Structure 1
Amino acid sequence: MVNSGRFSGMQGLFRAVLLCLLVAMPASVSAEGPKRGAVTNLPLPRFVSLKSDKANVRRGPSLSHRIDWVFVRRGYPLEVIAEYGHWRRVRDVEGATGWLHYSLISGVRTALVTAENVDLFSRPDPASRLNAQAEKNVILRLLECNVSWCKVTADGQKGWVLKDGLWGVRPDEVLE
């Protein structure tokens, strides 16, 4: 019998369903569970923040690699996408990637405002009192998040903001 590449019968149906599930699965999740870093055993990808006011982003994971650019904002959110020894490959909001020494990043969670303005409400409800507004490119510290909202703080202001105006937290991520 020649395999035409098409699925047939119950076995074919099972394969089709399995293929659909694998295609729909997020890249950070495999059939065995979330992908983990070989060095830290922490989830990959994961969000972190910049610990320093100045951090050289290198082309590769060592001091001998060329510096491609420099981050200059403490608290800037980054996404760790790979690990190699004391180095972490990170991605920024624009999708640019490079390598940072692990001592330059922190587990403190922050998010960057990507919308023109976001409203900070007293509760996770748009009908609640408006506490403040944050403009595009403001860095907010994440305190907690539910499926749709995050409680944040910046410059002494606290409030709840909708996730869809932020970069640095996944749409379905819950932080406690």
Structure 2
Amino acid sequence: MKNAASNLIMGVTLSCISMAINSGIGDRIVLAKSTNSQNCDIFAYVTDTDPKGLNVRSGASINNKILGQIPINETVKIIAAAGDWVQITDASDGFPGTGWVFVPKLGISTRGYGTNGVDLYASTSQQSRKIRRVPSSVSIKLLGCQGDWAQVEYEGIRGWLAREDQCGAALTTCS
């Protein structure tokens, strides 16, 4: 009787582990334990040239299920960041829900129209050191976000771009 109960418990345990691995729950548990996501509130646009569009996933990993795709140049709202992944919602076309995308497949541009450019800051405060002046209306590499600040790279210099200097639309100047 004792062996039968032990075998039953072992079988149930292995079934639960198998279900967690195959359903992607394990990836989400590992992600929750291993990364600290940052809340964000910025817009960006899809730069992925894949004809199918940018994959939107159920979690911050290529191992997570693909929920849908978003076409190139469409605008998305970024609501969180975890490593090289951002959680998006409100895509302007192609995907109606919320999911995770690989941040190098997104872009952002600078504003500053009619000026000599915008400032990159050392941290998420306009009182922090200004580390670079970036021309207005140029595309820059999006690295991540925190609150309404975008972490970017321009000509090898990394810094933070204030909300009023960001343009998250590919096909307009955001003026």
Which TM-score applies when normalising by structure 2?
0.38
Higher helix content, 1 or 2: 2
Which TM-score applies when normalising by structure 1?
0.38
